[in-house]
């Protein structure tokens, strides 16, 4: 649930959304595989390796979203004088990191 109050519109290309959703689908598939591995009592080292892959995939997706937001939404927010959006995004980055 978002509690943002900025007034500008977000500008996301369909191509970028598709790439992000594909990355998320891959991470979801990896996470489902981790769940299955745990259910099947597979080797803990193998589970940790797969879990690390999920974590890496999510982190990389986050980096892509940050880049997309900076190059599009934040640029538009600044052009529109929406400093609140910039502050909210800075807080979101702090939480992500």
Q: How far from 69 is each of 11, 17, 47, 72, 81, CA to CA, in Å?
A: 8, 12, 33, 5, 16
Residue 1 lies in a domain: no
Residue 84 lies in a domain: yes
| Pairwise CA distance, residues 44 & 2, whole Å | 37
| Pairwise CA distance, residues 40 & 77, whole Å | 49
Q: Which domain holds residue 80?
A: 44-97
When divided into structural domains, the chain yields a total of 1
Q: 37 versus 4: which is more confidently predicted?
A: 37
* Confidence class for position 7, pLDDT limits 50, 70, 90: low
Residue 3 lies in a domain: no
Mean pLDDT (the chain) is 87
Closest CA to 10 of 83, 62, 71: 71
Residue 16 lies in a domain: no
| Pairwise CA distance, residues 48 & 56, whole Å | 12
Q: Is the pLDDT of residue 3 over 60?
A: no
Residue 33 lies in a domain: no
In contact, 80 and 8? CB cutoff 8 Å? yes
Q: How far from 42 is each of 15, 51, 52, 56, 66, CA to CA, in Å?
A: 37, 13, 16, 21, 35
């Amino acid at each position: 649930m978002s509690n943002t109050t900025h007034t500008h519109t977000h500008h996301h290309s369909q191509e970028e959304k598709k790439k992000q959703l594909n990355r998320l689908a891959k991470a979801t598939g990896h996470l489902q595989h981790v769940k299955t591995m745990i259910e099947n009592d597979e080797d803990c080292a193998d589970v940790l390796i797969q879990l690390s892959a999920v974590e890496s995939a999510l982190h990389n997706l986050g980096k892509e979203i940050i880049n997309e937001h900076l190059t599009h939404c934040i640029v538009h927010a600044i052009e529109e004088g929406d400093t609140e959006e910039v502050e909210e995004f800075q807080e979101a980055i702090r939480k992500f990191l």
